[in-house]
Amino acid sequence: MRRGAGITFAMLIYKIFRAPEWATLQAEGRTRGAPVDLADGYIHFSTPEQAPETAAKYFAGIEGLELVACEATTLGPALRWEKSRGGALFPHLYRELRMRDVAWHRPLPLENGRHVFPPA
């Protein structure tokens, strides 16, 4: 959580899903993630600042993506912040993601070759 002027703000973290992965989460109510998540043993998330670079690097040109936001504090101790790309700390979830963990979701449209993120 972030604090400022006596107010506490929940920190949102993002997961980008391809359409079939998103459909699985919706249908089954839970997921262990995408193939890369299964291979690495955790579900990859990004902060709002990291998500555009993640989209550009791993989802370039892919249409039909869904941006899923979760409140970091509600994911419990299974969420760990670990060094990754460029030594930055990234959120990694060491358990399945449940539909009830999702704060909101939005399509991630592709315009002029770049994904358009909703305002943070």
pTM for the whole thing? 0.88
Please report the domains of the chain, with CATH numbers, ordered by start residue: 10-69+103-111 (3.20.170.20)
What tokens appear for 99 in the block?
A: 């539909």
- Whether the pLDDT of residue 120 is over 90: the answer is no
Q: Return the pLDDT at 116.
A: 95
Instruction: Over range 59-73, report the average pLDDT.
Output: 96
Q: Return the pLDDT at 1.
A: 44
Between 93 and 88, the more confident residue is 93
Name the 3-class secondary structure at 46.
strand
DSSP 8-state class, residue 6: T
Instruction: Over range 107-112, report the average pLDDT.
Output: 95
- Whether the pLDDT of residue 9 is over 80: the answer is no
- Whether the pLDDT of residue 40 is over 50: the answer is yes
How many Å apart are CA 104 and CA 101, to the nearest integer?
9
How many Å apart are CA 72 and CA 15, to the nearest integer?
12
What tokens appear for 19 in the block?
A: 């359409």
